[in-house]
Amino acid sequence: MHVLITGAAGFIGSKLSKALAERGSLGDAAGKPVPISRITLLDVNEPRPPPDAAVEMRLQAGDIRDPEQLRSALTPGTKAVFHLAAVVSGQAEADFDLGMGINLDGTRTLLDACRELPEPPKLVFPSSVAVFGGEMPEVIRDDTLATPRTSYGAQKAICELMINDYTRKGFVDGRVMRLPTISVRPGKPNQAASTFASSILREPLQGEQAVCPVPVETGIWIMSPRRVIAALLHGCDLAAAMWGEQRILNLAGLTVTVREMLAAMERAAGTEALERVRMEPDQQITRIITGWPARFDSQRALGLGFQADADMDEVLRIFLEDDRITPGA
């Protein structure tokens, strides 16, 4: 089968293309593993192939809003699409039209391009905790109403509904997974309101200073990059029948407070690391973050075989093993 990854130059896209190339197979509609013969990496920035990939990699730089780009990225053999291309929360809030263009129109364009394929491909779509906001129950369940209070969240919730309906119509075989905030992300801070959830750990562990813009008692629902990749692959592998009619799923994440995150870092790297974090409350970010729920009843995800990180120490160990850039390197 052929596989397409959009937003492939991002950090999840890079880790996913590496994991797919190493694995060499994906589940078909019935969940049976089928060899991958080609992976197409599409991104607005020139994507780079994973080193030493044993699978044929096609690289394509292009805009997700352009139907022609998508038609050329998809082949009659495309059986799975990982649609990671997105504008992050802070950016979608600051530039409404860009968010609507990439997050909504881009997804619609992709769905319509998938409809033209001879067979409905699996479509894996990471959604977000940002579909929740405002008045919410204390614990979010699978049947909790999505009440986004950011444009990013609204765009994700709209895409969820579109993918569910395109799936019902048999145009795609959609699998929507609402991701917790990813921590610890490698690289640099981005425009996501939640970027601090990585930078307050990543920077100190790499010998740099960091700013924490929210109070230490702030609760947050997180997942390590390794678990995110595993979840996207598992969600794709699962037979269509396991997903059933409702293709929108809250993943199983780890609920921690910022205080617990910092305490785990102190255990892992000492007081020295902790002292690199400066508390500098930012009202705008605190408002967005405390508007997102932190506690989930992830019954359905666990029943489908998805897994959460065990604890904050594991989350940090994964960062140190997979992504830390040694200070001075």
Q: Which residues bind a second copy (CB under 8 A)?
A: 96, 134-135, 143-149, 151, 154, 157-158, 161-162, 164-165, 168-169, 245-246
CB of 145 to a second copy, least distance (A): 5
Contact present, 261 and 212 (Cβ < 8 Å): no
Q: Which one of 11, 152, 171, 292 is the catalytic residue?
A: 152
Cβ neighbours of residue 102 closer than 8 Å, sequence gap 6 or more? 64, 65, 85, 86, 87
Closer residue to a second copy in complex, CB, 17/250: 250
Type of residue numbered 122: K
CB of 105 to a second copy, least distance (A): 9
Closer residue to a second copy in complex, CB, 245/321: 245
Closer residue to a second copy in complex, CB, 135/138: 135
Active-site annotation holds for 152:
yes
Six-digit token pair at 36? 């991958």
Q: How does DSSP assign 80-137, residue by residue?
A: EEEE-----HHHHHH-HHHHIIIIIIIHHHHHHHHHTSSSPPEEEEEEEGGG--SS--
CB of 164 to a second copy, least distance (A): 7
Six-digit token pair at 128? 């977000």
CB of 18 to a second copy, least distance (A): 35
Closer residue to a second copy in complex, CB, 35/96: 96
| Phi, psi dihedral angles at 243 (to 5 degrees) | -75, -35
Tell which residue, 27, 25, 23, has the closest CA to residue 50. Answer: 23
Check whether the bond before 184 is cis (ω within 30° of 0): yes
- Would you please indicate which residues are annotated as catalytic (active-site) residues? 152
